[in-house]
Structure 1
């Protein structure tokens, strides 16, 4: 086993402890003016303790302009458009109901016409049958039913 596992450190592994050193407060120094143009110039700031900090000057971020509210609210526009759409649909529904009513009247007239023609054909068959003597005619004058038997 290694000695560090037993709680002992070898001499070559001595621990060095560093204590933090507090920084002196920094006062803002005047900025070096930036050259006009597309590429910003490198600016340098001299701190009160004599140190020089160099870097690019950054323009402050401009806030986005607030969008102006429209004179009419979105809800009012949506309601108006809904009313226009409803009016257009009502016109179509009126045409649809008119079409359905006309189709119903046509079907009713066709059924009535079929009933008249079929009824006329049946009437012709019934009334014309009495004039024909082609079939066998059976005349029953006296019919006696006894014990479910027919005696003529």
Structure 2
């Protein structure tokens, strides 16, 4: 017994519409005032379109809204002024440190000269003569006779 062929399964696909949202229209600032007039237009096929009349924006209005100088240019200029101020301050700081170092060096040299002079006076003693138990001979008054000093 042979089996009759069965028909293949049928798949049915239903197309689904793709919904694309149009981009939002830019908002145009509206000046306060009386409401605009409503206009109606009759199309050639007989349809009537009713809406508000739009006045085109003038080119001078958009130019007036922009600042005279861009913020980026102002920021760059202020950064340059700040950098110049910092560099001047650093230059003054290094000059001050160099002057302070020279002043401290001069103070150390002056202290060494004064202290060295004080030590020299203490060692060589110009104020008094100390007898250490030896014979003192005053050469200016001495008389030399036969290789002997007579004082």
TM norm structure 2: 0.40
TM norm structure 1: 0.40
